[in-house]
Each structure stands twice: as C-alpha cells, then as structure tokens.
C-alpha cells in the first residue's frame, strides 16, 4: 500500500511492544513478549492473527503500537471485491506477513483464517474472534488380523480379539486448526468378560502419508495399559494425545492415520472393543 490505511472506528485497544517494523493495518500475533507479523504459511500455521494494528508505527524492536481485535479501515489503494452479502468475499490471513487476501491460502499446511470482510471497494472490517474448540471423530478405515465389528446393541464396536490385531482410523485436520488439545479413544468389553488390569495397546499416528506435498511424520505410544473397567458393559476413555506430539503431526489440512494395536491382554476372552476416537482442536 502507498500509504497506511485510515482507521474509521475500533474497539478499545492496548499498546504493546513490537519485535520488528509494524504499521497500521498489519495483522499481528503476540509471542508472549512482543508483537510479530502473522502469516498463514505452513511454517507459521500455529500463530494465527490475534490483533490488527490501529495506531503508531514500530520501526524497531521495542517500539509500541496500538492494537485491536476489531476495527474498520478505509484504504484508497485497495480494490476489494464485494458481492451480495458481506461474507461472500471474506478476507483471509495471507501467506505474506501481516497482510490479508480475498483468496483462500492454497499451499499445503497453510492456515485458513478468516480475518474480516469487505464493506466496499476501499473499506473493510477486521474482526478477529477468540479461538474455539472443534471436536471431530476419526473415521473407521479398516482392520488387520482377526479384528472386526463385534457384539450387539450396547456392546457394538471393533473387537481386538487376538494379540497383534489392529484397527485403523483416519481424519483430516481442519484447515483452520492451530493446535490439537486432546485425543482420546473410547472402549468397552464385548459383553463376555470385564476388562481387567494387564491389557495393553500401542498407538501409531502417521501424518501426511497420503499427501505428496509432505514427508510423512510418525509418532507413537509404544505400549499403554488400557485402564480396567469397573463393571461388565462399562465404558472407558483413554487419553492418547501423546501419540500426536511430534513436530508437524498437526498441520492444517493434513491427513492423519491412527493404528491401534493389541500388544497384550490380561486373560483369554478379555477382548477390548474400540468404540470411537475423538480429536479436539483449537481453531480460529
């Protein structure tokens, strides 16, 4: 832009220190010490825009600027597209640091964050909402060994009958996800024997294996004891978040594949039945 955009209105804002050159209209995030320019590329997909700069100009590290989560700007240098309905042509965080675009980021792993809307060809609103939790279920995608659908009624699930039986699940990380908060598997018995101490599973996560734009990343829990159930037909929940901790396992749009393998069992017929796998993401 030839000149900085003009702020027409805004919600109350704080003054914060910047880590580099920042100007009015820039989209920024707070790194716990300073403001930095936000961008949607895969390297920075965990750092969404949190504020827009509304006053001041930082020329060097330590300079302060005013920021807000919501403001209306006018900029004569812009030619925004506006059709019926303000959100038909939303503004997205750009892969260029600090900027927005009306085209969704298309690069692999790029964060898809809506940051505002056009009001006319030269006026726009930046509205940065607080992150929210989005929960999805991984889809059942197959079995190996003798594992398979078992039971009737309340006992239905994917039974892991023998050592080295496995069930597989798949999911795609939402394009606007910045972090995985929790991963958990729900399980029960198959109606014939209560799960006791001594049953062990392993969990292996492959990320990006079916995406040519990435080198596949793998993480795992080698052996996790399945908590015993207090009664027959009870339901247990096991936190398996540690299997998703490797760098770049969680990136926007990336495919995840999970294998749950039966490593050991407490006794014959104590066969756990996997009900579902739930992933909770922080999204913008």
Q: Where are the domains of the chain?
A: 6-127, 132-283
Q: How far is CA 17 from CA 20, 53, 166, in A?
A: 9, 11, 52
| Surface-to-core class of residue 84, CB atoms within 10 Å of its CB (0-12 exposed, 13-18 middle, 19+ buried) | exposed
What count of Cα atoms within 13 Å lies in the side-chain half-sphere of residue 246?
14
Q: What is the pLDDT of residue 169?
A: 93
Q: How many residues does the chain have?
A: 284
Report how far residue 246's alpha carbon sits from residue 40's, in angstroms, rounded to the nearest whole number.
21
Report how far residue 276's alpha carbon sits from residue 182's, in angstroms, rounded to the nearest whole number.
14
Better-scored residue on pLDDT, 160 or 68: 68
Q: CATH says 132-283 is which class? A: mainly beta
Model confidence pLDDT, tens digit, residues 93-147: 999 999 999 988 877 788 999 999 999 899 999 999 889 999 999 999 888 887 7
């Amino acid at each position: 832009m030839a000149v900085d955009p003009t702020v027409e209105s805004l919600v109350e804002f704080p003054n914060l220190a910047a880590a580099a050159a920042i100007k009015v209209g820039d989209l920024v995030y707070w790194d716990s010490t300073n403001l930095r320019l936000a961008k949607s590329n895969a390297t920075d997909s965990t750092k969404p825009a949190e504020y827009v700069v509304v006053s001041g100009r930082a020329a060097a590290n330590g300079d302060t600027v005013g920021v807000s989560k919501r403001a209306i700007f006018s900029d004569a240098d812009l030619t925004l597209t506006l059709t019926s309905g303000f959100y038909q042509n939303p503004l997205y965080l750009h892969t260029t640091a600090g900027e927005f675009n009306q085209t969704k980021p298309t690069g692999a792993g790029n964060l898809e964050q809506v940051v505002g809307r056009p009001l006319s060809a030269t006026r726009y609103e930046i509205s940065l909402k607080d992150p929210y939790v989005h929960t999805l279920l991984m889809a059942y995608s197959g079995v190996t060994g003798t594992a398979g659908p078992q039971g009737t009624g309340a006992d239905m699930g994917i039974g892991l009958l023998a050592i080295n039986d496995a069930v597989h699940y798949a999911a795609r990380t939402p394009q606007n996800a910045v972090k995985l908060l929790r991963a958990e598997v729900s399980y029960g018995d198959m109606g014939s024997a209560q799960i006791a101490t001594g049953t062990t599973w392993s969990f292996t996560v492959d990320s990006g294996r079916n995406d040519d734009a990435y080198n596949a990343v793998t993480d795992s829990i080698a052996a996790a004891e399945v908590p015993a159930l207090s009664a027959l037909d009870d339901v247990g929940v096991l936190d398996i978040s540690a299997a998703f901790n490797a760098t770049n396992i969680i990136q926007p749009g990336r495919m995840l594949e999970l294998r749950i393998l039966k490593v050991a069992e407490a006794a014959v017929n104590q066969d756990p039945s996997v009900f579902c796998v739930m992933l909770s993401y922080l999204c913008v």
